[in-house]
Amino acid sequence: MRDIIRTLLLYATGAPRWERVVVDSLVSSFGLTTALQRIAASVPEYWFQNPYVRSLLSDGYCNLSYVHDWQQAFCQEPLLECTTCNLNNFFEFRKCLQRIRDYDLIVILHSAAGDNMKFLRTATTALQSRRGKLLVFFGNEYNLMLEKIGFAKEVGAEFIASQLPLVAAEWLYADCDASHVLLAPPALNPELYRSNSRPRPIDIGFRGDAYRFTLGDVERSNLINFFRKYSEQWGLFADIKFVRYHRTQWVTFLNQCKGIIGAESGTYYLEKDDRTQLAVEQYVQQNPNAGFEDIYTRFFKGYPNPVSGKAISSRHFEPIGTNTCQILLEGSYNGILRADEHYISIKKDFSNLDDVLMRFMDPGYRDRMVRQTYEYVLNQHTYKHPVGSLLEAMYLKQVSPAAIG
């Protein structure tokens, strides 16, 4: 490996839309960053729950901490000399593409290849002319997969970084003949997610999006609603809302909670072409009052040979950084977090509820669990660890088509 690898990091400040591109391009070109910040500061905070307001007046991904954590980790890696490029800044993006051959490594981050592939696809010709290696992180590996897989094939990406478990990642990208799949699950940003050692008035907390029926299960929603309904009867104070917080608000909230509830992210029905999701969306448009049982019976119950894309997410590491205990639905969590060692595992039918509550209500048990989990993650699963593993796989190891953990 060279001493210093000249690296281009492609990211986006929000899902690429023409409004976002206009704002980012003009703000940068005319030095209007401070003015935009003043406007954003005068807007009521609740307005920022609207994705369009958030996209225009601030970082559209300010509620997705991992987007910034990955970028920060690459920029802090001493082996890399990083140039960052905002896909939504038209002038900056074009300038970087003209200099594409200057870079030894091009990294396309989740934010640039997650919610919209349209703008990134305009860089296909330039990326095909690169001389360096190309590493792509596809965000939301259950959505727009036909476009994402097609893009990887068109540009001949040498490496695809996936947060999925090995079997799922190999299956999903099997058609990308020129690409090696590297495992890149999320991790902890210990600089941001830290315990403040203050009193925690909330017993059970939750903040996050309500998952759509198109994913094919409501296990997480059932767990959240179950705790919201019965926590008071169990003598627990719960603060549970389906809303996304800015990463700094999220840190504050986690430090107010003794425990957080959750489940694996993703879907049990991974697809390469989104056909079932599109069919469900069309059905819901035609039948707006359709319930989950109806949708499940029509589209998922008899699904042939499903490939599970259930995976660990950044939301499972962030509470670890703040020493917040987690009650999570049983799952594999990429083999990284182990049940009843790193989190309290609750069965999907809630049949072990009494045991879960007994352990959670024991302060000594909680404290021991969060301390040992924090030490484990700090030693093996901060963002510097996957970045280091990716560089080792790309430059030091003889990489085979099978994924490298």
Q: Identify the CATH number of the domain in which residue 371 sits.
A: 3.40.50
Angstrom CA distances, 1 to 9, 30, 130, stand at 19, 40, 19
For residues 178 and 247, state if they share a domain: no
Asked if residues 222 and 208 have their Cβ atoms less than 8 Å apart, the reply is no
For residues 212 and 343, state if they share a domain: yes
- What does the alpha-carbon distance between residue 72 and residue 60 come to, in Å, rounded to a whole number? 17
Cα-to-chain-centroid distance, residue 48: 20
- What does the alpha-carbon distance between residue 397 and residue 165 come to, in Å, rounded to a whole number? 20
> Which residues form the domain of 95?
5-187+383-395
Q: Is 193 a member of any domain?
A: no
Which token pair is 130? 């690169």
For residues 151 and 171, state if they share a domain: yes
For residues 211 and 299, state if they share a domain: yes
Which token pair is 82? 């990083």
Asked if residues 175 and 145 have their Cβ atoms less than 8 Å apart, the reply is no
For residues 226 and 158, state if they share a domain: no
Length of the chain: 405
Q: Of the candidates 6, 168, 174, 76, which has an alpha carbon nearest to the alpha carbon of residue 386?
A: 76
Q: What angle do CA 98, 387, 197 make, to 5 degrees?
A: 125
For residues 183 and 74, state if they share a domain: yes
Which token pair is 256? 């107010």
For residues 271 and 153, state if they share a domain: no
For residues 133 and 224, state if they share a domain: no
For residues 134 and 216, state if they share a domain: no
Q: Under 8 Å CB-to-CB from 344, ≥6 apart: which residues?
A: 325, 326, 327, 328, 356, 359, 360, 369
Q: Is 400 a member of any domain?
A: no
Domains: count for the chain: 2
pLDDT tens track of the chain, all 405 residues? 557 999 999 999 887 777 777 777 876 665 555 555 565 555 566 555 666 665 565 566 777 899 999 999 999 999 999 999 999 999 999 999 999 999 999 999 999 999 889 899 999 999 999 999 999 999 999 999 999 999 999 999 999 999 999 999 999 999 999 999 999 999 999 999 999 989 999 999 999 988 889 999 999 999 999 999 999 999 999 999 998 888 999 999 999 999 999 999 999 999 999 999 999 999 999 999 999 999 999 999 999 999 999 999 999 999 999 999 999 999 999 999 999 999 999 999 999 999 999 999 999 999 999 999 999 999 999 999 999 999 999 997 644 444 444
Q: Is 208 a member of any domain?
A: yes
Asked if residues 9 and 75 have their Cβ atoms less than 8 Å apart, the reply is yes
For residues 330 and 391, state if they share a domain: no
Q: Is 197 a member of any domain?
A: no
Q: Is 45 a member of any domain?
A: yes
183 strand-pairing partners: 162
- What does the alpha-carbon distance between residue 230 and residue 262 come to, in Å, rounded to a whole number? 16
